[in-house]
């Protein structure tokens, strides 16, 4: 395949070098250096991603799959090379199992529409969990309201883990067509036991969708080893641009599912009587796709491959351990959840200081955290809170930044006393 060449970078980058690849991390806010602890909301972009997107627009841009001219062929090659990179990242059987969408939200809506309305049988229920992001709740509620599909919710334990015995009970409580569960909580950092979830679901005859929006940033994902049926993630959290996300699904499922959106690019023949769909994945990619963004995501994946997941996972595990220890010693601070298996996301709350006030104070020290319900209101309610502040870590986060956070939090408490 004629893949667009990207500026070559020296091989085997180390985590310590990586920070310098993110231009924005040199910025100041309110006159102090930026400490960006909001990567779970959206990650910053390495130069390699920015360069790939600029290079595309400056030198190799045209619409894809349409033109019979040189530029269109180059752009198509680069766009399809990004699909190959995603397939490699997920260890998919073939690139045709990769559907480009806008973000995780669209990926889940696609499944709710095309699988939920097209394949799910009457009487089959849906199973989600109490720790889902709204984007893995609302599409299923829409389906339930339209079709009367049953929607069961797996509770979360006090430790912030999925209640597996309740899960087994809910699976046994009547036919389940699809289990849609997060692979890692964006609030608690909990990594869910995907293999077990999937094995139990399959034994009960249900398919499984994993919302990998957070997990894939921190852990290697192998869809074949997991034996999962659908996997969704969003590019902007994985150091790629906004506007590009991925739905992976087994080919046989994609083939059985009717299209989501109709229009150009997704057909093989159109008459006013009827249309025939293009083969997968194009059947699900109606209209001009996010060409530049897909190429940017491809560059992000190649960048991650240079560093390698083992280094990323080890770095973030050390950061998380350090953060939990430092935050535990801040007086009056409550950290949510104590899951055994967790990634680099930590939510916390002071008894008497609202999360927004905490975030405003931290911001003045240059520290960016997220405050609010994190699009997971049911989970907040489960822990008896309206909002928390959340710090999240990325491959470029340093333990010095976590020390700065803990020190600033101690000062926040003094400020409000």
Partner 1 sequence: MFGDLADLYQEVILEHSQRPRHGKRLACFDASAKGDNPMCGDRVQVFVKHAPDGAIADVGFEARGCAISVASADLMAEVVRGRSAAEVKEIAGKFRALARTGHSGNPDDEALEALQPLAGVHSYPSRVKCATLAWHALLAALQGRKEASSE
Residues with catalytic function? 375
Interacting partner of 397 out of partner 1, ligand PLP, none (Cβ under 5 to 8 A depending on kind)? none
Nearer to partner 1, 228 or 389 (CB): 389
Interacting partner of 146 out of partner 1, ligand PLP, none (Cβ under 5 to 8 A depending on kind)? none
Question: Look-up: residue for tokens 């909001």?
Answer: 38
Rounded distance between C-alpha atoms, residue 304 and residue 283, angstroms = 29
Q: Which spans of this chain sit near partner 1 (rule: CB under 8 A)? A: 352-357, 360-361, 364-365, 371-373, 386-387, 408, 411, 415-416
Nearer to partner 1, 251 or 354 (CB): 354
Quote the distance between the C-alpha of residue 235 and its chain's center. 7
Nearer to partner 1, 37 or 249 (CB): 37
Q: Is 192 in the site for ligand PLP (CB under 6 A)?
A: no
Residues 280-319 that bind ligand PLP (CB under 6 A): none
Rounded distance between C-alpha atoms, residue 127 and residue 181, angstroms = 8
Nearer to partner 1, 277 or 416 (CB): 416
**What are residue 32's phi and psi, to 5 degrees?**
-125, 155
Q: Is 234 in the site for ligand PLP (CB under 6 A)?
A: yes
Question: In the bound complex, what is the minimum distance in angstroms from residue 213's beta carbon to ligand PLP?
Answer: 4
Integer angstrom CA distances of residue 228 from 175, 178, 200, 206, 222 = 19, 11, 11, 11, 9
Rounded distance between C-alpha atoms, residue 370 and residue 358, angstroms = 10
Q: Which two tokens stand for residue 305?
A: 């491959």
Rounded distance between C-alpha atoms, residue 219 and residue 195, angstroms = 14
Residues 211-230 that bind ligand PLP (CB under 6 A): 211, 213-214
b/e per residue, 360-375, with b = 16+ CB within 10 A? Answer: ebbeebbbbbbbbbbb
Nearer to partner 1, 281 or 366 (CB): 366
Q: Is 347 in the site for ligand PLP (CB under 6 A)?
A: no
Interacting partner of 408 out of ligand PLP, partner 1, none (Cβ under 5 to 8 A depending on kind)? partner 1
Q: Is 133 in the site for ligand PLP (CB under 6 A)?
A: yes
Interacting partner of 371 out of partner 1, ligand PLP, none (Cβ under 5 to 8 A depending on kind)? partner 1
Of the candidates 63, 83, 81, 82, the one whose C-alpha atom is nearest the C-alpha of residue 73 is: 63
Instruction: Check if the beta carbon of residue 322 is closer than 8 Å to that of residue 404.
Output: no
Question: In the bound complex, what is the minimum distance in angstroms from residue 181's beta carbon to ligand PLP?
Answer: 10
* Chain residues that interact with ligand PLP, rule: CB under 6 A: 103-105, 133, 135-136, 182, 186, 211, 213-214, 234, 375
């Amino acid at each position: 395949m004629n893949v667009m060449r990207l500026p070559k970078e020296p091989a085997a980058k180390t985590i310590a070098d990586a920070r310098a690849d993110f231009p924005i991390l040199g910025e100041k806010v309110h006159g102090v250096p930026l400490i960006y602890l909001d990567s779970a909301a959206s990650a910053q972009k390495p130069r390699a991603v920015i360069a790939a997107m600029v290079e595309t627009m400056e030198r190799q841009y045209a619409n894809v799959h349409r033109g019979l001219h040189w530029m269109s062929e180059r752009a198509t090659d680069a766009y399809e090379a990004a699909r190959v990179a995603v397939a490699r990242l997920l260890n998919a059987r073939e690139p045709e199992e990769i559907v480009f969408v806008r973000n995780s939200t669209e990926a889940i809506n696609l499944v709710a529409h095309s699988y939920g309305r097209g394949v799910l049988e009457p009487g089959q229920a849906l199973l989600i969990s109490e720790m889902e992001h709204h984007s893995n709740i609302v599409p299923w509620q829409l389906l339930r309201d339209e079709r009367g599909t049953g929607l069961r919710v797996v509770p979360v334990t006090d430790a912030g883990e999925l209640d597996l015995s309740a899960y087994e009970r809910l699976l046994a409580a009547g036919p389940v067509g699809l289990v849609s569960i997060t692979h890692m909580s964006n609030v608690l950092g909990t990594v869910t036991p995907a293999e077990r979830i999937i094995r139990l679901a399959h034994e009960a005859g249900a398919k499984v969708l994993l919302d990998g929006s957070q997990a894939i940033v921190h852990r290697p994902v192998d869809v074949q080893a997991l034996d999962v049926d659908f996997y969704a993630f969003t590019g902007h959290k994985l150091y790629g641009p906004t506007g590009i996300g991925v739905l992976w699904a087994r080919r046989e499922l994609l083939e059985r599912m009717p299209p989501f959106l109709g229009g150009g690019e997704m057909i093989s023949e159109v008459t006013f009587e009827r249309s025939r769909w293009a083969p997968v994945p194009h059947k699900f990619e109606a209209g001009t796709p996010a060409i530049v963004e897909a190429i940017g995501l491809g560059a992000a994946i190649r960048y991650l491959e240079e560093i390698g997941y083992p280094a990323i996972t080890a770095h973030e595990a050390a950061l998380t351990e350090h953060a939990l220890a430092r935050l535990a010693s801040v007086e009056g601070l409550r950290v949510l959840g104590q899951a055994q298996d967790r990634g680099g996301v930590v939510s916390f709350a002071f008894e008497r200081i609202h999360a927004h006030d905490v975030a405003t104070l931290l911001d003045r020290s240059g520290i960016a955290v997220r405050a609010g319900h994190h699009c997971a209101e049911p989970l907040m309610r489960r822990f008896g809170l309206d909002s928390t502040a959340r710090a999240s870590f990325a491959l470029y986060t340093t333990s010095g930044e976590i020390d700065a956070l803990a020190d600033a939090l101690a000062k926040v408490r003094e400020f409000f006393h």
